[in-house]
Chain A
Amino acid sequence: MEYITVQEAAKKWKISDRLVQKYCAEGRIEGVRKFGKSWGIPSSAVKPQDPRKEKESPIPRLPHPQPEAFPGFMPLMNTPFELGRCVAYINEIEDGSRREIALAEYHYFSGQPEKAIQESELYLTCPDAAYRFSACWIYAYANLSVGQIQHARYALTEIKSTLAANVEKAPYIRAIEAFVVFASSVLLHLPLPEKMPPAQEFLPLLPSGLRAFALYVQAHYLYLKEDYGKSVGIVEATLSMGADRYPIPAIYLHLVAVMDYMSLKQTQQAQKHLLAAWEIARPDDLIEGFGEHHGLLGGMLEAVIKPGWPEDFKRIIAITYRFSAGWRKIHNPATGHDVADDLTTTEFAAAMLAARGWTNQEIAQHMNISSHTVKRYISTVLQKLGIRQRQELKKYMLK
């Protein structure tokens, strides 16, 4: 990203240097960063409104997110780094905690959980809440990926107990906590904790990148409630409001859109979003999300990624097997059954679509296979699950 100085911004916006400094300190300029003692203002930043005019506004304003209050929390997720320059961006970060957390994030999102565990472990008890929460998040998910469930549980419990603690905290810290707890509950399909604040309370306090990811979580939540229209509405709105500048949230937003559109049987839209996610992920190899969401993408990876990028597809599927084994151990589905433990990813994809009422012909067309092959997958799935009819598939499949 290109930055301009306070003086340059003052000249551009025709206001005094002091006012620009004030806006920076109040966190009223999107994406502003501190370099040593001076502020760097994104060259694309919009001039904030005059506070005197704002006072006249009849609409009560929520405190604006302060990016500087979050430097340590998931820095990569909260950065609009240039595609293909993710590692270069991390290398540019000054040596220290922020850089190490960013590196752990990168290793996690690029499907290297062992490295992510090593790097995040050091920060699990860090007194700085932002680093500690980032570490717990990365550590929990990376451990899920390698099947170390006890470690994942430990990190998740740690997060929840901090949220439950009745300690006076800055609103921004509470917002981070709520965000992390919300995300881990929704993404692991676990019940939301009782003390969970409503999303509208913490969402506005998050800086843009984190807010975009939180909105992905919100969309995922609606998807699980089978409210696909609303879910995809959130995704499209979030992306159109600039979230696509943040590669990590953008990948996940596009993926949830694929899930929604597949549920709505709008395969062309789903494909468009999958390719959009892939274009963002590929230059930096941020493939973890594809593997984790495989079961919900309704055979889209088989239909689109497998023919075009067979080697990447194999790596994604390896992530799927790794992650889903751990996920199933921690997940407690309503039926009490282990969800489709013995299925291959292709069998799972075909069964997911069948469970949603797709015909064999439709599945065959979508997955570029013959109808006979689809039936073979379905019959294998029925046998492995010990059920007699495909109608019963629904209770075994992910929502």
Chain B
Amino acid sequence: MGKTRQYNIEGVLLEIPLCYDKIAEREIEIFPDFIETPVYTPEGCPVLFTGEDACAYGETPDGAPCIDCGSCRYYRQTPGALVGVCGHEKKRRKPPERPNLNMDEMKPYKGGTQG
């Protein structure tokens, strides 16, 4: 397993693989496709990349066309990360019957399929 970076996104632990970029001479995070493989917070909110195409519910704070989640007023971007959580009610998954909020027992989500 190569290098990874961990994020706690509103209670869900993401482990994002890192890949060395020769041009930039630094590690770059390789995010999974959260549309193909959805990840939800314990509250049932989807975790999404900031540059995800906006869905039909997307709205900007100033009424301008909403292009991506990053510019949507329902999006809560995690500080220091390119991922965040969509807070729109319609996008929420039905909460699990007994949500496990104990962080110590949570298994990390092994993000990505790109090694």
**Cβ-based interface call for B103 (8 A):** no
Residues facing B in A358-394 (CB within 8 A) are 359-361, 371-372, 375-376, 378-380, 382-384, 388-391
User: B82, A375: Cβ atoms under 8 Å?
Assistant: no
Report A349-363 CB contacts with B as 1/0, cut-off 8 Å: 000001001011100
Interface of A is mostly: helix
Contact among B24, B31, B52, B71 with A391 in the assembled complex (CB-CB below 8 Å):
B71
Query: Does the CB pair A372–B33 fall under 8 Å?
Result: yes
B36 at the binding interface (Cβ < 8 Å):
yes
A388-B28 contact in complex given A344-B23, A380-B21, C-beta closer than 8 Å = no
Quick check: is A343 within 8 A (CB to CB) of the other chain? Answer: yes
Q: How many whole Å from A343's CB to the nearest CB in chain B?
A: 7
Q: Does any Cβ of A come within 8 Å of B67's Cβ?
A: yes
CB-CB < 8 A to B43: which residues of A? Answer: none
**B10 sits at the interface (CB 8 A):** no
A342 at the interface (CB under 8 A from B): yes
Interface contact B51-A360, CB-CB below 8 Å: yes
Q: Which of B31, B35, B53 contacts A376 (CB 8 A)?
A: B31
Mask of B27-38 contacts with A, CB within 8 angstroms, 1/0: 011110101100
**Which of the listed residues B29, B54, B68 has the most CB atoms from chain A within 10 Å of its own CB?**
B68
A373 (CB) vs chain B CBs: closest residue: B33
* Given A382-B50, A382-B82, A388-B70, residue A376 in contact with residue B30 (CB < 8 A): yes
Contact, CB under 8 Å: B23 / A343: yes
Min C-beta distance of B30 to chain A, whole Å? 7
Query: Whose C-beta in chain A lies nearest to the C-beta of B75?
Result: A389
Are B28 and A391 in touch, CB under 8 angstroms? no
> Which residue from chain A places its CB closest to the CB of B64 in the assembled complex?
A391
Chain A interface category by residue count:
20 to 34
Q: How large is the interface on B (under 10, 10 to 19, 20 to 34, 35 or more residues)?
A: 20 to 34
**Contact between B29 and A389, CB atoms less than 8 A apart:** no
Distance in Å: Cβ of A36 to nearest Cβ of chain B = 56
Q: Report the minimal beta-carbon distance from A387 to chain B, rounded to whole angstroms.
A: 9
**CB neighbours of B31 from chain A (8 A):** 375-376, 379
Per the bound structure, the CA–CA distance linking A360 and B31 in Å amounts to 15
Q: Cβ of B29: which chain A residues have Cβ within 8 Å of it?
A: 379, 383
A384: chain B residues within 8 A (beta carbon): 21, 24, 28
Is B41 part of the contact surface with A, judged by Cβ < 8 Å? Answer: no
B49 located at the interface, meaning its Cβ lies under 8 Å from any Cβ of chain A in the complex: yes
Contact flag A375-B28 (CB < 8 Å), given A343-B23, A384-B21, A388-B77: no
Binding site for A on B (CB under 8 A): 21, 23-24, 28-31, 33, 35-36, 49-54, 65, 67-68, 70-71, 77, 82
**Interface positions of A (Cβ within 8 A of B):** 342-344, 354, 357, 359-361, 371-372, 375-376, 378-380, 382-384, 388-391
Q: Closest 5 interchain pairs by CB?
A: A389-B70, A342-B24, A372-B33, A378-B51, A359-B53
Starting from the known contacts A384-B28, A389-B51, 14 additional A-B residue pairs (CB-CB under 8 Å) come to A342-B21, A343-B23, A354-B51, A357-B67, A360-B51, A360-B52, A360-B53, A375-B49, A379-B51, A383-B28, A383-B29, A384-B21, A390-B51, A390-B68
